[in-house]
Amino acid sequence: MIYDVTHRTTYEHGETVDLAHHVLCLTPRTFEYQRVKHVSLHAVPGGETNSLTDHFGNTVTYLTIDEPHEEFVVELQAEVEVVDRPKVDLTATPPWEKVRDALAGDGFPAPVEESEFIHPTAQTPSLGALRSYAATSFTAARPLLAAVRDLTRRINTDFKFDPTATLVTTPLAEMFAERRGVCQDFAHLQIACLRGFGLAARYVSGYIQTLDKDGKPNLVGGDASHAWVAVYCPGLGWIEFDPTNDLMVGGQHVVLAWGRDYGDVSPTRGIILGGGRHQIDVAVRLVPVPA
């Protein structure tokens, strides 16, 4: 599948911004299941830019604007080719305890890159309530990916998608208690549950095609950036799950970036001088390109 991707973010400031330093994580990744055929970033006002690859392999663009302005608009336009992931027999994967022990270096050297994703972060804290919740899925000797798939299903069933329920700053414990949130919250919840059992899980940001073959919405998360989870499984690598939609990630997902949590891959962040109060509008379009 080939997609045209447009991601437009508009900041309306109440006062003039005299100087702005923006960090943009808006370039889709190229990896074994995805190829970026074309990508461009356009900002108004423009400024001095510099792009580099961060610790996780994401392309990050730094933008400095020294022109006074009251509105800032940045738009990603890309053409991305996506292929389905291979089918995986979830029940044939190692018991989750053996994966936990391997990541901890028990028995053979720990895979360094994967092991860094077993630790809690500010947005995926270690909470006893989350471990208790996940324990229903992680019974003794259960195959890793079968357990993760069950947890994905339970989060989808037990939590309601509600875009008015949380903010980016809402603590995970509060969202867990209220049982309401958005894709970012559900991804953080699943990651925190998995890390609570010593498993490696990373946060994946991107987009999802939400329309079925008749053009009707059948999935959640298509009007803005989407988020899901990748879990490390020895012998298979990183396997992705979407708790918001209760499915394994495939050809309908476009990967933008990945990291430990949202803080590593926020599409736009930075520091401004001036500006006062501001409003943000985000619009995303993911359109299949006709064959």
Q: Are residues 134 and 239 in the same domain?
A: yes
In a domain, residue 78? The reply is yes
User: DSSP secondary-structure letter at 205?
Assistant: E
Domain that holds residue 11: 2-83+266-288
Whole-prediction pTM = 0.93
Q: How far apart are CA 34 and CA 21, in angstroms?
A: 30
Looking at residue 259, its pLDDT comes to 97
Pair (72, 175) in one structural domain: no
Inter-residue contact 239 to 230 (CB < 8 Å): yes
CA dist 289 and 2 (Å) reads 5
Q: Mean pLDDT in the chain? A: 93
Residue 94 and residue 237 in one domain:
yes
Within-domain flag for 16 = yes
Both 76 and 118 in one domain: the answer is: no
Biggest CA pair distance of the chain: 60
Q: Cα separation of 28 and 207, whole Å?
A: 10
Per-residue model confidence (pLDDT) at position 218: 45
**CA geometry: angle 271, 277, 280, nearest 5 deg:** 75
* Same-domain status, 136 and 218: yes
- The tens digit of pLDDT for each residue in 124-166 reads 999 999 999 999 999 999 999 999 999 999 999 999 999 999 9
Pair (96, 78) in one structural domain: no
CATH of the domain at 140: 3.10.620.30
Q: Is 129 in a helix, a strand, or coil?
A: helix
- 258 contacts 53 by C-beta, under 8 angstroms: no
Return the C-alpha torsion angle 27, 32, 38, 42, nearest 10: 0
Kindly state whether residues 163 and 55 are assigned to the same domain. Answer: no
pLDDT tens for residues 219-262?
544 557 899 999 999 999 999 999 999 999 999 999 999 999 99
Whether 104 maps to a domain, the answer reads yes
Does the pLDDT of residue 97 top 90, yes or no? yes
Residue 200 lies in a domain: yes
Task: Indicate if 183 and 156 belong to the same structural domain.
Answer: yes
The whole-number pLDDT of residue 177 equals 97
pLDDT of 213 above 60: no
CB 165 within 8 A of CB 178: yes
Overall domain count for the chain? 2
Same domain, 24 and 132: no
Q: Are 122 and 55 in the same domain?
A: no
The CATH number linked to 30 is 2.60.40.2250
Q: What are the pLDDT digits (tens) for 60-73?
A: 999 999 999 999 99
Both 30 and 168 in a single domain? no
Asked if residue 73 and residue 43 are part of one domain, the reply reads yes
CB 77 within 8 A of CB 57: no
Does residue 223 lie in a domain region?
yes
Bridge partners (DSSP) of residue 48 are: 64
DSSP track, 188-230: HHHHHHHHTTT--EEEEEEEE--B-TTS-B-SS-TTS-EEEEE
**pLDDT given for residue 113 in this prediction:** 80
The C-alpha angle 15, 18, 22, rounded to 5 degrees, equals 100
pLDDT reported for residue 290: 80
